Amino acid sequence: MSSISPESFWSSPFTRSGRSVLVPRGPWIYALSGVAAHYRADPKALEGVVPKPLRVVDGDVFTYIVEVIAISPNAQHLIDEAPDQLYYNEGAFFVEVEYQGKVYSYCPFMWVDTDISLLRGLLAGWPKKLASIAVTRLHPMLPGLDKPRRGLRLGGYVARSGSTLYRVKILIEGDEHIKSLPLLSEHSILLPRYFAGIAPGMTTVNELVEFVADLVVEAWQGAAEVTITGSAIDEVDAFKPITSPKGYYFNALLKPRSIRVVGKLEGF
């Protein structure tokens, strides 16, 4: 009988078959639908959520609230046996930063509402926390909410520990769609992959990771309203807009292409 090592799995619990793991092996691909906003925040405030050696460029921020479907060729059994493991909601902020002479999108905060999406993201460096997340859904048979259209209003929120952290509301202002999104389509993404060595003899992982993906987008533009509230344990005040946000409703397909270590975090 061939030997099966822990390196064969992406997570525990460990069993010979591997079917009990929380995160089945990838490659995972992701389909996203939801609302987003692009605007400028105070660059000085953003320095409080962007660690060195990264440098805030000019305060550009992109935020979204989406529903996600994720699939892997190594987890086909989930499609009919455990479909709840494929679907989740997500909210995130991205900040334009400079590192070693190149411009990136840095993700300082992300929230999801399932355990599999939480751990899968943490393994790669996505700074995820659990939250309650909701976003307007469209359905092709529902009058008024059948498809993106001029004049359609949509919105979403992220809430955690009794507080609504932020809301995004948009008004679509045109019927034509575009094929890119600010920051996400323009740059690769930097992620803070950090796991503390919490006891003597345990290893601390400190990796600044570059995440590169193929992103196919269809997006409808409009006006946006972004309300930042935050909480004692989610410091999102730095993302408050200082310019009028531009809004988006979008569908996207994200296929990770590469992930590599490019440095380490130095702190603030």
Q: What is the pLDDT of residues 206-223, one digit of tens each?
A: 999 999 999 999 999 999
Q: Percent of the chain scored above 70 by pLDDT?
A: 98
Assign residue 242 the CATH number of its domain: 2.40.400.10
* Spatial distance between the Cα atoms of 48 and 42, rounded to a whole number of angstroms: 11
Q: What is the mean pLDDT of the chain?
A: 96
CA geometry: angle 125, 131, 136, nearest 5 deg:
105
Model confidence, pTM: 0.95
Cα distances (Å, whole numbers) of residue 31 to 23, 81, 88, 250: 18, 20, 11, 11
131-134 long-range contacts, CB within 8 A, separation 24+: 131/91, 131/158, 131/159, 131/160, 131/165, 132/158, 132/159, 132/160, 133/65, 133/89, 133/90, 133/91, 133/157, 133/158, 133/159, 134/65, 134/89
For residue 76, tell me if it sits in a domain: yes
For residue 268, tell me if it sits in a domain: no
For residue 5, tell me if it sits in a domain: no
The tens digit of pLDDT for each residue in 168-177 reads 999 999 999 9
Helix (H) or strand (E) holding 118: helix 115-124
Q: Total structural domains in the chain?
A: 1
Q: Which domain holds residue 129?
A: 22-263
pLDDT at position 5 over 80: no
For residue 87, tell me if it sits in a domain: yes
Cα distances (Å, whole numbers) of residue 143 to 20, 48, 66, 146, 221: 42, 45, 21, 6, 21
- Please give the pLDDT value at position 9: 81
Residue 2: band (very low, low, confident or very high) from pLDDT cuts 50, 70, 90:
low
For residue 66, tell me if it sits in a domain: yes
For residue 146, tell me if it sits in a domain: yes
* Spatial distance between the Cα atoms of 154 and 242, rounded to a whole number of angstroms: 22
For residue 17, tell me if it sits in a domain: no
- Please give the pLDDT value at position 8: 75
Q: What is the dihedral of CA 123, 128, 133, 137, to 10 degrees?
A: -50
For residue 235, tell me if it sits in a domain: yes
The tens digit of pLDDT for each residue in 176-215 reads 999 999 999 999 999 999 999 999 999 999 999 999 999 9
User: Given phi > 0 = left and psi -120 to 50 = alpha, else beta, which region is 18?
Assistant: left
Q: Around Cβ 99, how many Cβ atoms within 10 Å?
A: 17
pLDDT at position 12 over 90: no
